[in-house]
Structure 1
């Protein structure tokens, strides 16, 4: 097998340099193309490319008409933008698409645990008091009266894939009771860190039994709008904290605000939103029980992205199965 030509269409900083450092020996050439300023010579390079490394939002540049293409490697975990384009064009690509996966679990697990601890120990008030140089007896009383140690808490992880299993392990390490929502109940090889499994049809049993809910769900036709309407009403017995580190379109802004107003959930920690960037006019910014972070629970770091891509290029050269290939029919 001849060595492939690789074209890089990405805004991940220094990704091309990392790829050259790691896998130049396996490639005929690795070239970077500015995805926002594609020239005629760049289009000729794309037509020659065996492998394209691309951020999903540049899929329009390679989704059709590149007959030499063997596979595309993404630089993000999610493929929802790509799948929307596939659905709009009503095409099924004839090449594999590999997600950037298997590297986000540690970072997202740290995010989840950090914000659970921050929520339980009321760090927001701590920071406010510190800014005012105030030794707050109120905060001390809150810790005594209301703080719960993690080994007294339960968490429902919605989506127990690679990332969800890492989150489950971290939460179990701190003594939490872990519930997991999956597509189908595992008959074998169940995650040892999940105490209770439920399918989506039985999601209400997770909502009614957990102190925290952590969504790691992808964006698919089945998950979009999953928590719209009064779905959060099932949470009213436990009033959990809702965390979203998956995709923002599983619930609308209004559904979250309504759930908070009704007391169905007691707080929301949102790393992903239905609209990003979140407009300054959004009521979520001002809500006292909402924490917003700018989609940063895990980021595509150039060395980690290049590591997985170089592994898959080697798999391709040795005719081994590629890792993290999406199912075009499922969208993940």
Structure 2
């Protein structure tokens, strides 16, 4: 067996990330758990010293052949990136759940809901055209229904913040959920009523085989068409794979949607020739809704590992069948 290494009998932690600077994460783990060596790759196939893997868009096969791997931790809010690897070992997968991540997402959702509610895109166009005033009534928050697709941890936190501002809030989820102050719908049978009642729809769904491409013309055609904001507004801060961008553009041009905010895209970075960049009814942000902050998330992961090694169960486990 390889030396446990390099100074620890607790086993080593594999940090397998792409698109991010791994040294930032390794530095935070060095502060939070100085007795746990962090490596960026196994020493060799079958490395027995690796006990845990921390991943974001790991390279396919990078977690295979680790006989003593105990758990995989996602470093981002979603876990669909993990399942892109066909060689995922059969060990528990843990979602990251943190107050910091929830607050960042709620800030984004509230920002964009308020921007559309208070006619921000319209006023920016007026500024560019040097138009001082257009007569248009501003609805109150309690006249506007914000529907949240996905009532997980992030969706519920955003709902609480929107309720505090006076909006009517509804929510849809795959399975039944109850939330005080929120009218909830679930399953295929509840989706139609949910869509027909919302003026602004915020999508925070996980990306799975069932939700891929769900933000499409078939959904837009079922949405409420006459409300205080006119046609409905769509905000997607979930995953780019949830949306059909050609259908979004067509729905805007047909008036099925009045405006959209997109933080995620089918292809990232968003190609320079994408019409989304310049469409007057589209707000683009660069996958910035809820960035993972190593300083906030690393201590939570270390705490989970320490609890697990004391014999306590892991929390926030991913359902492999549902893929979230």
TM range (shorter): 0.7 to 0.9
Q: Assess if the C-alpha contact under 8 Å between 1:230 and 1:255 holds in 2.
A: no
Quote how far apart the aligned CAs of 1:8 are: 2.2
How much has 1:290 moved relative to structure 2?
A: 0.5
Match of 1:241 among 200, 225, 233: 233
The answer to whether the Cα contact below 8 Å between 1:236 and 1:263 also exists between their aligned partners in 2 is no
Question: More displaced, 285-294 or 43-52?
Answer: 43-52
* Counterpart pick for 2:30 among 17, 20, 36: 20
Q: Report 1:166-315 matches (<5 A).
A: 166-186=157-177, 190-238=178-226, 239-315=231-307
1:170–1:113 Cα change, 3 Å: same
Aligned equivalent of 1:160: 151
5+ long unaligned stretches in structure 2: 1-8
Using the TM superposition, give the Cα deviation of residue 300 of structure 1 relative to its aligned residue in structure 2, in angstroms: 0.7
List gaps (5 residues or longer) in structure 1.
none
Q: Distance in 1 between matches of 2:118 and 2:156?
A: 25
Give the structure 2 partner of residue 97 of structure 1: 93
TM-score, with length taken from structure 2: 0.87
2:147 paired with 1:137: no
Shift of 1:127: 4.9
The separation in 2 between residues aligned to 1:19 and 1:131, in whole angstroms, is 47
Q: 1:152 offset after TM fit, Å?
A: 1.9
Report the equivalent of 1:119: 116
Looking at structure 1, the residues matched to 295 and 242 of structure 2 have their Cα atoms a distance apart, in angstroms, of 31
Check whether the contact 2:198–2:224 (CA below 8 A) recurs between aligned residues. Answer: no
- Taking structure 1 as the reference length, the TM-score comes to 0.85
> How much has 1:285 moved relative to structure 2?
1.3
Aligned to 2:76: 76
> How far apart are 1:210 and its partner, in Å?
0.8
1:9 aligns with 2:4: no
Distance change in 2, residues 1:101/1:85 (3 Å) = same
Which secondary structure does the structure 1 equivalent of 2:301 belong to? helix
Q: What is the deviation of 1:178?
A: 1.0
Aligned length: 309
Change in 2 beyond 3 A, CA 1:237/1:309: same
In 1: Cα distance, 2:57 partner to 2:317 partner: 14
Tell me, in whole angstroms, the C-alpha distance in 2 between the residues paired with 1:234 and 1:306: 42
Greater fraction helix: 1
- Quote how far apart the aligned CAs of 1:21 are: 1.6
Query: Alpha-carbon deviations, 1:44-96, whole Å to 9, x = none?
Result: 7954211122223335311x21101111212112121221323xx5xx62211
**Take 1:237 and 1:48, find their aligned partners in 2: how far apart are those partners?**
58
Q: Structure 1 residues 5 and 185, CA, compared in 2 at 3 Å: closer, same or farther?
A: same
Partners of 2:319 and 2:199 lie apart in 1 by 33
Range with greater deviation from structure 2 (92-101 or 285-294): 92-101
